[in-house]
Structures are given as structure tokens and as C-alpha cells.
Amino acid sequence: MIDLGFCWAFGPSSLPEEELPYLRECGFDGIELWPQALEQFGVERWGRTLRSEGMRALQLCPYFNFVAGPEKIAGSRTMFLQYLEMARELDCSRLRVFTGPPWGEGVVGAAEATEAQWAAAIENLADYAEIAGKSGVELCLECHEGSLMEDAPSALRLLRAVDHPALTANLQLPLLNETWEKSVERLGPLTSHIHIHNWKEGLGLGDLTYLGEGAFDWLPVLRRLVIDFDRKLCLSVEHPDHGGSSTLRETARRDGATLRDWRRQAEEWKRGAGGE
């Protein structure tokens, strides 16, 4: 019902064979992998080490770009096919999707995107979803400021236009200018993944901190998703160094314990609601 993930943010000197056993001991089911880690250690080594630890690659995180013209679109398709093959090799069923760079040069948010950029994103997402779906891989739109899914209406525009079961949402709260209630109401039925964070002063407010010590209460969000929308989720710890104030291992230890407690709570809700 709920998978527990950890975004691999260890430095180049940290080895999969050393850190994966620790993450497993902390209660995580698997990890998310970004391009640098995949390139550094290679798919074969990742697959071998994950299997030996009984863990999974829960999501691979490429950077597609549909809003910067034909050359970037062509490059994104090449990248997509490469990552789809890596997903097959790692038995990973999810690829993260951006519509363009979410920060730095070339950022295009929903409000400033042209109709041509929307059309290109929709056309390519529909094509990708059809191809990925045949391999049992889903594409997960990361709701992120500076993208075509920076709020619920913009994410829904893509999801509804593509209308394919292989395209889902990473409900990375908070969304732009939205309460969590509004975001969950609109995107909850299509959510499969959450990059989960907590903050010292409230939702998206103040410095990042451990999930169980922050000011935002995640349990109402999870209850809405698990009970009201009957969603199967991956909760994945992102930015585990909290901007440099925490070690990754300490975050894994504390957040792993918190997430296990939340999963147990969700299982109790489910039993109480008559679920399996």
C-alpha cells in the first residue's frame, strides 16, 4: 500500500554496497536514482547491489525538456528511451518527468508557457506514456514550481489531455499558491508518488527538518490519499541533508522510523475501513 523511499543524495565517495544496507536497516524499501549516481556506478552494479539487499529502484529521475524547441525535444526522446531501458534492467516501474528545467536558465512555468509549448509537452507525454505503459513503467509528473505542473490546474491540464494510466502525479507539496487541501482534492486520484519533506515553520515555511519534527502534519494528507482515494503510494525522502544541516544517515534513521509509524497508521486506517 505504501512504499518507503530515499532519494540517493550520497556523495561520490559513498558506495552503494555501504549505504544500501544502512537504508534497509532504517526501514526503506528502495531508493530513487538521479543521472549522476546512475552514471557513476552503472546500472549493472546498482541492480546487483539492490537485489542483494532486497531493495528496489523506486524511481529513476531524468530531466526531459519539451519547451525549448525541436533539438531539446529530440534529446529528451533519446534520454527517455535510455532511461526506459535502465528501468527494465533495474525492474523499476517509474520514471520522473519534468517538462523543462525547473530552475536556472530556460525555466517555463505554467502561466508563461505558450500554446505551442503546451502542445509539445502533451504530444510527447502521450507518446512516452504509450511506449512506457507497454513495458509496465509509469511516468510521474513532478509537481514543481517552474514547470507545466506547478499547480493542480496545470498538472491536470497535462494529465487530462494525455489521459493514459501510465501518466501519474508526484504530489510534491506545497504546490504554487495552493493549500494542501486543494492540491490533494484535485490531484489525489492520480497521485502515485510523493517527494516528502517537512519544515520548521509550516508547509513550505522555514528550514527543512526531519519528518517527525516539522510543523506540518502529514497524516491528514495520507489519510485522504489512502482512505478517500484508495491510492497506493511511494513516500520518498528528498533533500535529506536539509540544506547541509543534517547528515544523510541521521535523516535516514529518523525519517525511516517516522515513515514506518505512518505506514502502520495507514494500515490501521485501511483495516478500519474494511480494506485488506
Which of the four pLDDT bands, split at 50, 70 and 90, describes residue 274? confident
pLDDT for position 129: 98
pLDDT at 1 over 90: no
What's the confidence (pLDDT) of residue 142? 98
Q: What percent of the chain has pLDDT over 70?
A: 99
Percent of the chain topping pLDDT 90: 96
The answer, as to whether pTM is greater than 0.85, is yes
Domains of the chain: 1-27+197-276 (no CATH), 62-196 (3.20.20.150)
47, pLDDT greater than 60: yes
Mean pLDDT for the stretch of residues 47-59:
98
Distance CA 69, CA 76 (A): 11
Q: Which residues pair with 195 in a beta bridge?
A: 236
Q: Per-residue pLDDT for 275 more than 70? A: no
pLDDT score of 273: 80
Asked if pLDDT for residue 276 goes beyond 60, the answer is no
| Alpha-carbon distances, residue 177 vs 85, 87, 151, 181, 186 (angstroms) | 37, 34, 7, 12, 14
CA terminus-to-terminus distance, the chain:
10
Over residues 190-210, the pLDDT tens digits come to: 999 999 999 999 999 999 999
The per-residue pLDDT for range 19-34, each reduced to its tens digit, is 999 999 999 999 999 9
109-126 tens-digit pLDDT? 999 999 999 999 999 999
- For 152-184, what is each residue's pLDDT tens digit? 999 999 999 999 999 999 999 999 999 999 999
DSSP per-residue codes, 188-246: GGGEEEEEE-EESSBTTBSSEE-GGGSSS--HHHHHIIIIIS---EEEEE-STTGGGTS
Q: How confident is the model at residue 75 (pLDDT cuts 50, 70, 90)?
A: very high
**With contact defined as beta carbons under 8 Å apart, do 262 and 210 qualify?**
no
Q: Which helix (H) or strand (E) holds 256?
A: helix 248-272
